[in-house]
Amino acid sequence: KNVPKLFEPITIRGVSWPNRMWVAPMCMYSSDYGKATDFHFVHHGSMALRGWGNLMFEATAVVPEGRISPEDMGIWSDEHIAPLKRVVDFVHANGAKIGIQLAHAGRKASTLSPWVQRKGQQAGWTGGEVATDEANGWASDVKGASAISFDPATNPHPTEASLEYIEHIKEAYKAATKRAKAAGFDYVEIHGAHGYFLHNFYSPLSNQRTDQYGGSFENRTRLGLEITKIIRDNWDGPLLYRVSASDWLEAVEGPEKDANGEWRWWGLEQTTMYAKLLRDAGVDLLDVSSGGNDPRGQYKVGPGYQIHFAEHLKKNVPGLLIGAVGLITTPQKAEEILDKDQADVVLFGREVLRHIDFPLRAAEHLGVAANPAGQYERAWSRMLSSI
């Protein structure tokens, strides 16, 4: 066997990644009213220096009320561009690619970030998870597909997004895409997963609208497809979409589709139909996650618990690249996923935070020369040439 698949480059729309070890988007709750800070510079910079082929800015809100917590990233004004560009330029100088996940938190907006909850120091903090208006939040201005709370104990009660609001959000995605281009990002990922705005629309559990955005599969997926097309029209580069392949409600509600052919919840059958439409609308790679839209979801969490979703989509949606994510923590497992053709790239979340030098160690495990990239490589070759 020659080069392990994890170390094979991949090219999408003219952008070439050095390998298939990709960092998953992760909220860091460290922004200054949506702006990237020194934290993000060091966070992404460190990963670029250690051989990760692909980095991704966490869920970045296209409007202020689209943040999950007050400390989340945003890209709703031109002032957000320069701090992002500073990170992007450094990452590029060190051999990695970097994208941004454009997001709107929908009915799960305005919650306290984990470290604020623990400290409980924010004015107005009551011990729950809602970021009240007094605690820098906007709990009274949270929008979902319908006025149905994710969980009244932990989340604000949303109002139904009006048609005017939906138009406003489409414009916000368009403006955000132009800003992402100005910041120099290599690709854009649409956050369509985990119970946030777009997932609120496509899942029948959170969407009881009676207009053109609710009811049928076609209506529920309309907004996600419209936003995809708007971005595609304003962005020449690679376009990714993160989807939740299932609400995991089989054990609670029975099959995804009832005996009359009505969809009860969102599952793999609809995801497969949606994936084909997303591909036709210009999505290059589907980043396959799951869950997050209903607290009753029954997860079988364990190593690689979402891989079967990725594998199904890889087999059934030709022409669409697939990313696998979810408790993938060893180079051997990641290599196996690529080898079995279950996915085209592997994304790592928590493992990156635990072992930031994973790519260098993966190279050792899989028998590849573990040369670091960028500035480290220049220092490295200097040393080799001087001995």
What does the binding site for ligand FNR look like in residue numbers (CB under 6 A)?
24-27, 58-59, 101, 191, 193-194, 242, 289, 325-328, 348-351
- In the complex with ligand FNR, the residue whose CB is nearer, 94 or 289, is 289
- In the complex with ligand FNR, the residue whose CB is nearer, 27 or 176, is 27
Taking the C-alpha atoms of residue 311 and residue 288, their distance in angstroms, rounded to an integer, is: 10
CB 261: neighbour CB atoms within 10 A?
6
- In the complex with ligand FNR, the residue whose CB is nearer, 26 or 368, is 26
Shortest reach from residue 215's CB to ligand FNR, in Å: 27
Taking the C-alpha atoms of residue 140 and residue 110, their distance in angstroms, rounded to an integer, is: 9
Q: Strand ranges (DSSP E) for 24-128?
A: 54-61, 73-74, 97-103
- In the complex with ligand FNR, the residue whose CB is nearer, 26 or 175, is 26
Shortest reach from residue 73's CB to ligand FNR, in Å: 8
Shortest reach from residue 134's CB to ligand FNR, in Å: 25
The vertex-278 CA angle with 254 and 337, nearest 5°, equals 70
Shortest reach from residue 380's CB to ligand FNR, in Å: 29
For residues 92 and 184, the answer to whether their CB atoms sit within 8 Å is yes
Residue nearest ligand FNR by beta-carbon distance: 349
Contacts with 137 (C-beta within 8 Å, 6 or more apart), sequence order: 70, 110, 111, 112, 130, 131, 156
Contacts with 370 (C-beta within 8 Å, 6 or more apart), sequence order: 51, 360, 361, 363, 364
- In the complex with ligand FNR, the residue whose CB is nearer, 27 or 373, is 27
For residues 59 and 101, the answer to whether their CB atoms sit within 8 Å is yes
Shortest reach from residue 333's CB to ligand FNR, in Å: 11
- In the complex with ligand FNR, the residue whose CB is nearer, 21 or 91, is 21
- In the complex with ligand FNR, the residue whose CB is nearer, 26 or 277, is 26
Q: Strand ranges (DSSP E) for 245-383?
A: 285-289, 321-325, 345-348
Contacts with 103 (C-beta within 8 Å, 6 or more apart), sequence order: 59, 60, 61, 62, 66, 191, 196, 197
| Closest alpha carbon to 19 in 363, 364, 255 | 363
Shortest reach from residue 280's CB to ligand FNR, in Å: 23
Shortest reach from residue 251's CB to ligand FNR, in Å: 21
For residues 56 and 101, the answer to whether their CB atoms sit within 8 Å is yes
The 3-state DSSP class for residue 11 equals strand
Shortest reach from residue 309's CB to ligand FNR, in Å: 12
- In the complex with ligand FNR, the residue whose CB is nearer, 95 or 326, is 326
